[in-house]
Homo-oligomer: A and B are copies of this chain.
């Protein structure tokens, strides 16, 4: 079963204690695709400007990403410039140029309307709602959002929460939207807003998953080679959703395994700038590290 991802395709400039990279291929939909593609065909819905390098298009195509709904329009590609200092959990945004993102109206091809699995990566909730309107009968819809939208577009975001099955938020977002500091209380609150399942991402501290009657808490895969955490959350989501797409049942066992795959995928992402370490990611890499992760957790 294939998946459709709505998000950004960006040119990222990132500075971390490990160095500086300018105009790298980035964006939420790209990071998601790099891990989801290991499990399932990925249909990318996004917009880029005429300045978007052809080599990045080739790069995505070579990795099997389906670009039928990647719009290329006049104007500049979305650019993000950020810096990480001591605390690699927390990006400092230096500059954002929305460019063509300002006129983005997502559309999908006729063949894509029937796709059952959807990931709404972080973009304007109005666009996320619109993508759902385009689809015939999505069955598993996951939503990622951001503090910015919680503050600036609470109404469309709340409407969206009633239309999705899984809400992925980071700890700050979960606390901001729920008003609860304890993350399990926060997850329970978010669950009552609509999504059957809530997954809270805690960066270097792993994730908490909640659905009524069922809690999972897993640490991050321990690594001291953190180079650039940009896109780790989306890479997690790609592994998580990619694995779930192939499963008939959302059983506890499948959800746990999906979280573990997401965790492992994210651990590769942080070990290089941009998509350096996920560009060549394959099933074997994931399996090898998953085995180590299991060993770490078993007692």
Any chain B CB within 8 A of the CB of A116? no
A205 to B226, alpha carbons, bound, how many Å? 19
Partner of A184, one of B87, B184, B223: B223
Q: Are B224 and A184 in contact (CB under 8 A)?
A: yes
Partner of A86, one of B181, B183, B217: B181
Q: Are B183 and A208 in contact (CB under 8 A)?
A: no
Partner of A224, one of B88, B182, B224, B298: B182
Among A50-58, A126-134, A252-260, the one that faces the other chain is: A252-260
**Oligomeric state, in copies:** 2
Any chain B CB within 8 A of the CB of A216? yes
Nearest chain B residue, comparing its CB with the CB of A206: B219
Any chain B CB within 8 A of the CB of A204? yes
Any chain B CB within 8 A of the CB of A294? yes
Interface size class of chain A, counting residues whose CB lies under 8 Å from the partner chain: 35 or more
In the bound complex, residues from chain B placing their C-beta under 8 Å from that of A215 are: 222, 296
Q: Are A296 and B224 in contact (CB under 8 A)?
A: no
In the bound complex, residues from chain B placing their C-beta under 8 Å from that of A182 are: 88, 204, 224, 226
In the bound complex, residues from chain B placing their C-beta under 8 Å from that of A208 are: 219, 222
The smallest beta-carbon distance between A292 and chain B, in angstroms, is 9
A181-B86, A181-B88, A204-B183 known; A224 and B299 CB under 8 Å? Answer: no
The smallest beta-carbon distance between A117 and chain B, in angstroms, is 21
In the bound complex, residues from chain B placing their C-beta under 8 Å from that of A226 are: 182
Q: Are B256 and A298 in contact (CB under 8 A)?
A: yes
Residue of A253, A259, A260, A299 with highest tally of chain B CB at under 10 A: A299
The smallest beta-carbon distance between A298 and chain B, in angstroms, is 7
Q: Are B296 and A87 in contact (CB under 8 A)?
A: no
Residue of A88, A181, A183 with highest tally of chain B CB at under 10 A: A181
A218-B219, A218-B297 known; A185 and B224 CB under 8 Å? Answer: yes
Residue of A206, A208, A217 with highest tally of chain B CB at under 10 A: A217
In the bound complex, residues from chain B placing their C-beta under 8 Å from that of A299 are: 218, 253, 256-257, 259-260, 294
A111 to B10, alpha carbons, bound, how many Å? 70
A125 to B298, alpha carbons, bound, how many Å? 35
Any chain B CB within 8 A of the CB of A277? no
Pairs A–B under 8 Å by Cβ, sample size 9: A182-B224, A205-B205, A205-B206, A217-B222, A218-B297, A256-B299, A297-B297, A297-B298, A298-B298
Counting from the closest, the 3 A-B pairs by CB-CB distance are A184-B224, A205-B205, A256-B299
